[in-house]
């Protein structure tokens, strides 16, 4: 094994790891960035495509929610349970009556769009999650989180989120210790400067999107929830139990929301108007609301603000429809700081926190990240060694062994801890090491055979 200074050993290990992240995880980060950019770029297009369903009569008096719900129930044949209603509170909007349809996937609802003035049915389509995205963005969202492959496909997005922050921090450290002393203008250095410049420009976003993306993931996300629960960082949820205690909820309801299948199948449509009046009297004043019927006779109805732009309006109340009294209420202003930060981080990730500004920022970020990955591959192609020039000792394991005892112990502990916290990252690291060993095995045997000749 070649001896080297401690600093050189650390740089060699970090460079090797950064290379493998780019080579093997880069394509997954590219797909996540591309589909994420498409997701945040399409709200206006979606509003145009589905304008017939989203736009109602601009003049005239709105009819009762009871009449609107009854009209929607007629369309479904009165055999589907009403899961939620989003009333049209501004002129020109349509009311969205959502039904739990067992034929649909989890977190999907069948939505009937009703003109509140004329009671005309303007649309009938599938919507997804509490964000209520329509079919176009629903398809893009599925591609972004799972490559349209279901739960198995979610491993790709978790892999991207697990390594992106490590790639960002590792790239910064590598730049700091290996930046050239003189400004060169050859092809490789020009590409390297552009790659580094984009890396610095995008580093904050890479850290943020890694963190928020991991909270959505299958394996690391469960560990994040356990940590948040342990430290009391969970988001308060309005208590709907007629006799119960405060509950907590996840900010990612748009990815795994859905009412219990034990919910009441028959809903009195006339209660929607009364529940809305009680909620508004209790301080629910946002123009974007969602009313959810009780899931069983032991729980109350909820009315929740769903305007997650700035300022964030997500206050909620629960109501006992037997007495029309407020059971409980939550106010975003009273949320713990970490719960607020999580809410804002998730909404920023989805491109809705600051409206159009948020969309533009994420489109610039996603495009820049895709470009940086392409340039990274370009750098690898320019600097790729010929087979005869490959040094079989330059593997992750050999780089790790080149560290001193304290360094090897530190790396081992960090790898184990991160592997437990982010299982997909831990498994992929083992994959990197296996590929490294196979490469070493193949190259070393080739060199021996050539020497024998």
What is the full per-residue pLDDT of the chain (453 aa) written as tens digits? 444 578 889 999 999 999 999 999 999 999 999 999 999 999 999 999 999 999 999 999 999 999 999 999 999 998 899 999 999 999 999 999 999 999 999 899 999 999 999 999 999 999 998 788 999 999 999 999 999 999 999 999 999 999 999 999 999 999 998 887 767 678 888 899 999 999 999 999 999 999 999 998 999 999 999 998 888 888 899 999 987 544 555 555 545 444 443 444 557 778 999 999 999 999 999 999 999 999 888 999 999 999 999 999 999 999 999 999 999 999 999 999 999 999 999 999 999 999 999 999 999 999 999 999 999 999 998 887 655 455 544 788 888 989 999 999 999 999 999 999 999 999 999 999 998 888 777 766 665 555 555
- Helices 219-231 & 187-216 angle (0-180, nearest 10): 60
| pLDDT tens per residue, range 167-212 | 999 999 999 988 877 676 788 888 999 999 999 999 999 999 999 9
- The phi and psi torsions of 339 (rounded to 5 degrees) equal -65, -40
Element (H, E) at 34: helix 26-41
Residue 184 confidence (pLDDT): 67
CA atoms 218, 247, 329, 289: torsion sign: positive
Residue 266 confidence (pLDDT): 58
- The phi and psi torsions of 394 (rounded to 5 degrees) equal -85, 70
Cβ atoms of 29 and 188 within 8 Å: the answer is no
- The residues with which 237 forms a beta bridge, in sequence order, are 247
C-alpha span between 453 and 451 (Å, rounded): 5
* 55: Cα within 13 Å, side-chain hemisphere: 8
Report the candidate in 162, 267, 178 with the shortest Cα–Cα distance to residue 215. Answer: 162
- The residues with which 249 forms a beta bridge, in sequence order, are 235
Can you give 161-203 as a three-state secondary structure string?
HHHHHHHHHHHHHHHHHHCCCCCCCCHHHHHHHHHHHHHHHHH
User: Radius of gyration of the chain from Cα atoms?
Assistant: 27
Query: How far does Cα 375 stand from its chain's mean position?
Result: 25
Query: Among the residues of 384-404, which ranges form H helices?
Result: 396-401
Cβ atoms of 217 and 421 within 8 Å: the answer is no
Q: 374 is written with which tokens?
A: 């392409």
C-alpha span between 244 and 261 (Å, rounded): 20
C-alpha span between 193 and 179 (Å, rounded): 9
Report the candidate in 382, 393, 380 with the shortest Cα–Cα distance to residue 443. Answer: 393
Q: What is the value of pTM for the model shown?
A: 0.88
């Amino acid at each position: 094994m070649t001896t080297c200074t401690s600093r050189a050993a650390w740089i060699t290990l970090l460079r090797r790891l950064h290379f493998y992240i780019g080579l093997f995880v880069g394509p997954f980060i590219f797909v996540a960035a591309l589909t994420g950019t498409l997701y945040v770029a399409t709200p206006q297009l979606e509003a145009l495509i589905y304008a017939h369903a989203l736009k109602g009569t601009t003049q005239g008096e709105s009819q009762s929610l009871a009449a609107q719900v009854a009209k929607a129930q007629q369309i479904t044949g009165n055999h589907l349970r009403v899961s939620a209603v989003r009333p049209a509170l501004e002129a020109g909007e349509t009311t969205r009556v959502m039904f739990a349809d067992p034929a649909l996937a989890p977190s999907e609802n069948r939505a009937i769009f009703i003109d509140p003035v004329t009671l005309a049915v303007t649309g009938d389509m599938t919507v997804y999650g509490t964000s209520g995205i329509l079919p176009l963005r629903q398809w893009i969202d599925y591609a972004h989180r799972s490559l349209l492959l279901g739960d198995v496909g979610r491993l790709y997005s978790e892999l991207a989120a697990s390594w992106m922050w490590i790639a960002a921090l590792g790239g910064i450290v590598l730049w700091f210790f290996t930046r050239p002393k003189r400004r060169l203008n050859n092809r490789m250095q020009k590409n390297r400067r552009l790659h580094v410049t984009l890396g610095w420009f995008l580093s904050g976003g890479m850290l943020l999107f890694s963190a928020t993306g991991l909270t959505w993931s299958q394996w690391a996300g469960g560990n994040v929830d356990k940590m948040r629960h342990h430290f009391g960082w969970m988001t308060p949820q309005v208590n709907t139990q007629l006799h119960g205690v405060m509950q907590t909820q996840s900010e990612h309801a748009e990815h795994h929301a859905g009412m219990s299948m034990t919910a009441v199948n028959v809903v009195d449509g006339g209660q929607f108007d009364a529940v809305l009046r009680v909620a508004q009297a209790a301080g629910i004043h946002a123009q974007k609301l969602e009313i959810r019927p009780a899931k069983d006779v032991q729980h109350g109805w909820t009315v929740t603000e769903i305007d997650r732009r700035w300022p964030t309006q997500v206050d909620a109340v629960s109501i006992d429809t037997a007495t029309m009294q407020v059971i409980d209420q939550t106010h975003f202003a009273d949320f713990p700081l970490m719960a607020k930060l999580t809410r804002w981080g998730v909404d920023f990730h989805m491109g809705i926190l600051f409206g159009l500004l948020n969309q533009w920022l994420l489109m610039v970020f996603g495009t820049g990240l895709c470009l940086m990955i392409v340039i990274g591959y370009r750098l690898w192609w320019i600097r790729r060694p010929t087979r005869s020039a490959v040094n079989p000792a330059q593997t992750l394991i050999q780089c790790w062994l080149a560290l001193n005892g304290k360094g090897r112990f530190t790396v081992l502990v960090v790898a184990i801890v991160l592997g437990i916290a982010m299982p997909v990252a831990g498994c992929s690291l083992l994959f990197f090491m296996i590929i490294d060993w196979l490469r070493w095995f193949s190259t070393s045997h080739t060199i021996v055979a050539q020497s024998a000749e």
